[in-house]
A and B are shown apart, each in its own frame.
Chain A
Amino acid sequence: MEILICMKQTFDTEEKIFIQNGEIDDDGVERIINPYCEYAVEEGIRIKEAHGGTVRLITIGGAEAEAAIRTAMAMGVDEGYRLDLTDFPADSDEQTTSECIVQLIKQKQIPYDVILCGYMSIDNGTAQVGPRIAELLGIPHISTITSLTVDGRQVQVERDVEGDLEKVESSLPILLTAQQGLNEPRYPRLPDIMKAKRKPLHRMKWDELRVDVQMIQARTKKVAILPVEEKETGQILSGTIKEQSQELIRLLHEEAKVL
C-alpha cells in the first residue's frame, strides 16, 4: 500500500496572535503538527501497520517545518518532502499550494493508493486544499472521516456531516480528510525519535517545480489582517444566586436586548 500524507505545520493551539506591520507575528511561536493533519499521519501509519507499504509525506513550509516532519517520522512516516514556497514570485493561496503539491507528486512520481490530509488547518481554516488536490489528480475524495476500513482495493468510511454519520464506500486510489475522532495519535518513543533523524527528507524549492506561475498564482488577494477587537471585560454578577439570575435576565432583556 502506497500511503501519502499532506501535512501542515501550524502555530500551537494555545498561541496568542499578535499582528506586526499588517502580518501575523510568528516570532518565537511554538509550532505543532496541525491537529487534523496529526490524525491523518496516525491513520496513514495504521494503514501501513495493517497492510504493509510505505508512508510518505509532503509539507509546504520553510526550514522550521522540518521539526514537524521529523515528529511525523518518529511516529512512523518513512520518507518526507518539504516544498519551500518562500520566494514564490506572486501571491499564493489555496490554488497555489494545491497545484504545487500535485506538481510535486507528478514530477517526483510519488506513488499513492491513499492520500490523507487534515480536514482543515487551524490557522487559515479554509478546508480547501484536500478536495482541490483530489480534483487536480482526478481522484475521488471523502472529507471529515471518523472511521476507515481498507479491504483490498475497497474502502469503507464513516464521515461526520454536521453531526450526522454518513457511511460511504469507494475504492483506491482516494483522498481522505481526517476529522477529530478518527484515532488517537501516538506519542513518538525516544528510539523512534532518534531513528527519525536518519529517514530520507527531500527538500525542494518552488522553482524546481515545472509550474506556470501565472497559471497557479493566487486568484485571491490579501487586503489586511485585523485583530479581533478586545472585548470589554465581561460583567461578573454578584449577590445571591437568585439575585444574579434575575439580574442576568434583566440585563439580557434591557441592556443587551437579545431577549
Chain B
Amino acid sequence: MGTANNVLIFADIRNGTLRQVTFEAISVAHQMANGGEVHLAILESLDPNQIESLKQLKLDRMWHVDHPLLKTFNLDAYVETWVHLIDLLNPDVILTGHTALGRDVSPRVAARKRIGLLSDCIKLDTSSTYEFVFTRPIYAGKAYVQRTITKPPFFVTLRPNNFVAHFDTSLDQSIEIKTFHPNLSQISLRTVVTDVVRKVTSGVDLSEANVIVAGGRGVKSKEGFAPLEELAVVLGGAVGASRGACDAGYADYALQIGQTGKVVTPDLYIACGISGAIQHLAGMSMSKTIVAINIDPEAPIFEVADYGIVGDLFEVVPLLTKEWQRINR
C-alpha cells in the first residue's frame, strides 16, 4: 500500500437528509485513506437534527458549504463549488455517488481538472500491483471491467447499495464543521431550473431498498399494483416497475428500474409479470437474490432468477404476503 491519501466526499442529499450512498462513500474513503484525512462536503441544506448526529461520524472534517445560489441545484454553481473545494483541499481521491447529481457534475469537474474519473463502480480491491482497482459493470451488466488510476488526484463515483455503509456515529469526540463560502460572484448561471415535478411518493429510495417487489406489464393496471404494494409493505421493501408498466401508465416513471431508470442492487428482487428485457436486467441483475413470477415459462427473466414460480402473479403475490405474515406471527 502506498502513502496516505486525503479523500474528499461530496454528499448526495435528498429531502434534507444524506442518501445512503454518502455513508457508503465514507467507508470506501476509509479503505482508501490509509492514514490520510477524510473530508465530507455538504452543499445543500440539511435537517439540523441530522447535522448533530453527523458530528459523531468518523470523519476528519465536515464542510458545510453555504451560498444562496446552492439552495437548489444549479449545475454551474455546483461545478464551480466542487472545483473550489478541490483546489482548497487538494485531495488525492474524490468520491461521490453515481446518482443524477454525481453523473452531472463529476465529468465536468474531471474535464476541467484533467483528472481520471471511474464511474459507476461496484467494488474496490487493493492489490500489490496497483494501489486501487475498481470494478464496474459494462455492456448492460453482461461483463465487468476492472480499472485503476494512473495518477492522483482522481474521481470515483459509486453505484448505490454496493458498498457497506459507514453509519458508526459512536465517536465520543465530535468533529469540526467548517463553513465554506465559495466565491460565486463571477459565474453566470447558464441553466435555470424553473420547476421540479416530484414523482416519488413514498419515503423509500428505491436505490437503497433491501427488498424490491417489481411489477411489469403483466400487472395489467394501476390497481393491479395493490397486491405488490402489500407484499412490499410486509417485507419492509419498496415497489418498483418495468418500463413496460410505466409506459402503460400502471406505475410512475419514478419507479422505473433499468438502464433508463434506477439501477438497483437489493438483497431480494421479486419480478412479477416482467419479461426480463436486457434493458430491465441492466438495472437489477446484480441483485443478490432474484425471484421471478411469470405465467410464461420461456420468459427470459427466469434465466437470471434464483427462484421461479410459473404462475399467475395475482394468485401468487397475495399468497406470499399471507405466508410471510403466517410464519411471522
Contact = CB atoms under 8 A, between A and B. Distances in A.
B255 A163 contact: yes
Q: What's the dominant secondary structure at chain A's contact region?
A: mixed
B51 interface: no
B291 A252 contact: yes
A16 B142 contact: yes
A252 B142 CA distance: 25
A126 interface: yes
A11 B143 CA distance: 13
Given A128-B110, A170-B192, A228-B144, A17 B139 contact: yes
B147 interface: yes
B151 A237 contact: no
B148 A164 contact: no
A219 B151 contact: yes
B42 interface: no
Interface in B194-210: 194-200, 207
Contact of B194 (A131, A142, A164, A168): A168
B302 A221 contact: no
A148 to B, nearest CB: 13
Given A17-B143, A219-B149, A237-B307, A143 B327 contact: no
A162 interface: yes
A77 B239 CA distance: 41
A50 interface: no
A223 B133 CA distance: 8
A19 B142 CA distance: 11
Interface stretch (A57-65, A194-202, A240-248): A240-248
- A-side interface size class: 35 or more
B267 to A, nearest CB: 4
Contacts of A251: 307
A218 B192 contact: no
B111 A132 contact: yes
A126 B191 contact: no
Q: In this complex, which of B136, B138, B150 has the most chain A Cβ atoms within 10 angstroms of its Cβ?
A: B138
B24 to A, nearest CB: 17
B36 interface: no
Contacts of A107: none
Given A163-B255, A163-B256, A249-B324, A127 B308 contact: no
A161 B253 CA distance: 10
A145 to B, nearest CB: 11
Interface in B284-298: 285, 288-292, 297
A136 interface: yes
